[in-house]
Amino acid sequence: MECVIYARFSPRPGESNSIETQVDECQKHAWANGWRVLSVHSDSHASGADPEREGLWDAMDAVPRGGILLVWKMDRLARDLYLAEALHRHAEKRGFRVQAVREGVADDTAEGRLIRQVLAAAAEYERRLVQVRTSVAMKRYQSQGRRMSRHAPYGWTVDPDDPARIIPDQAEQQALEYMHRLRGEGYGWRSICTNLDAAGHKPRGKSWDASSVRRILQRFQQRTTEHQPTEA
């Protein structure tokens, strides 16, 4: 039996299992069952509700017919009921199955589908509960004029005169405006990444990727409509 491993990590409250930990447990599970690991794929800082994860689709494409997509838990695949079911149906059409180390495999019987959907619904409920708690905390912090994290969001930098506040970063602001314009012109996420590189706009990490650009733009749009930055 051949398998492909997929791991996802999102730094949120209660998230303690790193990509390395997930991959390690998946590899041990594969070896214990005599499966050959073909490749390992992952997404870091990625929401389980985001369908445009490069690592996820690379993993889905890499699984051969009759093989297994191995994850640590089913919520690593998705934290959205509709997305989780769509991914499972995609796997069925491609002729492979998804299996979780911690939860086993839900077969294609009526009972198996029910178990799979209950797990997905529970993951979605947990995600939405975290969103509500985070939103409440953010509003409380903002009312006190405080930053929400150690790092300023892309497009902003910590005010050297007041570490509790942020001010615009001119170079990153230009990149944000460029992203926004390209998206408005109908460019896809990967095309935007290519154009950012070509225009000389620098990412904070090693390289631009579709998930991070999408997340940056979402935060930028939210900030410009709801949370105007405090002037230094």
pLDDT tens figures, 173-196? 999 999 999 999 999 999 999 999
Question: Where along the chain do the CATH 1.10.10 domains lie?
Answer: 148-226
The fold of 2-126 is Rossmann fold (3.40.50)
Q: How many CA atoms within 13 Å lie on the side-chain side of 170?
A: 0
**Residue 229 binned pLDDT confidence (cut-offs 50, 70, 90):** very low
The whole model's pTM is what? 0.50
Question: Where along the chain do the CATH 3.40.50.1390 domains lie?
Answer: 2-126
Tell me the pLDDT tens digit for each residue of 63-72: 999 999 999 9
**The two three-digit tokens of residue 181, written as one number:** 């314009």
**The two three-digit tokens of residue 72, written as one number:** 């640590």
What would be the CATH architecture of the domain defined by 148-226? Answer: Orthogonal Bundle (1.10)
pLDDT above 50 for 145:
no
Distances from the Cα of 20 to the Cαs of 15, 24, 169, in angstroms? Answer: 13, 6, 33
State the Cα angle at 205 between 199 and 209, rounded to 5°.
Answer: 65
* 219 closest CA partner among 130, 138, 103, 120: 138
Q: State the DSSP string of 130-150.
A: HHHHHHHHHHHHHHTT--SSS
- CB 77, CB 6: distance < 8 Å: yes
